[in-house]
Amino acid sequence: MRNPQDQKLTSGATNSEPGYLITRRALLSNLGVMTLLGASGCSQSLELPSLEPSSRMSTASVDYMSTGAIPPISVDSNITDNSTMYASLNDNGFVIPAIPFQKVKPEFRRQIVRDPTGEAPGTIVVRLSERHLYWVQEGGEAVRYGVGIGKAGFEWSGRAEIQYTKVWPTWTPPKEMIARKPELVKWTGGQPGGLDNPLGARAHYIFKDGQDTGYRVHGSPEWWTIGTQASSGCVRMINQDVVDLYNRVKASPTKVPIVVA
């Protein structure tokens, strides 16, 4: 005589585990209930007994961790769709041209992200390897912008502060740059602010221990250099982005710290 646990199921498989034996009557009963629910168009769920791991199942194969929830990103009226952020801009008598943002990699366009820096709100953080600048905000968020950085050998890094900012600043090339590019001698006394000015629409002047480092966070008419190493050491931004950053820095009640690393 065969034992009950050795009886074959309708599929032909032999059930030899007493702990997993399902009677034909129970199976047909549950299937009947589920069929009735489906036929009636009900959306309610059928509560079945929870499965507990048996002595033959390792608890390491069962994941009991909650996935939790991803914190929502706040809404900022200055962080909108790309066509709005990078549209032509009338600014202090100059018309900044629209940026063909489709030609700028998505990761280098202005956006709000979870803050990866750990710095205090109101800090500017430039991550050279990423080609990103972060404006750290309250609530664990940051506004992230794409930037262009200095060519190899021209980079600057360290902790400092933004001593002051300027709108459509005058650009005066350093003597070392004039030596490399003699054609710049015409600007020894300074190139007035304007659409062709290398400092763009805004400049943030970096000072360390009260001394001008000679480095700036500034706008640039050369939007296509964002995400590259193209400058003589300064951090350059799309003009529309540097105007946005300037408005945030200007609203700060204290001097703004900056970390470049």
Beta bridge partners of 135: 124, 143
Would strands 124-127 and 256-260 be described as parallel, antiparallel, or unpaired? parallel
CA distances from 12 to 8, 9, 17 (A): 6, 5, 15
Phi and psi of 171, rounded to 5°?
Answer: -110, 125
Q: How far apart are the first and last CA of the chain?
A: 79
Contacts with 195 (C-beta within 8 Å, 6 or more apart), sequence order = 94, 95, 96, 97, 221
Q: Which of 42, 132, 204, 218 is catalytic?
A: 218
The candidate with the shortest Cα–Cα distance to 130, out of 117, 119, 112, is 117
Q: Exposed, middle or buried: residue 58 (CB in 10 Å: 0-12, 13-18, 19+)?
A: exposed
The candidate with the shortest Cα–Cα distance to 133, out of 146, 121, 142, is 146
234 flagged as catalytic: yes
Q: Which of 42, 132, 204, 234 is catalytic?
A: 234
Spatial distance between the Cα atoms of 145 and 111, rounded to a whole number of angstroms: 7
218 flagged as catalytic: yes
Cβ-contact 156, 215 below 8 angstroms = yes
Residues that are catalytic: 218, 234
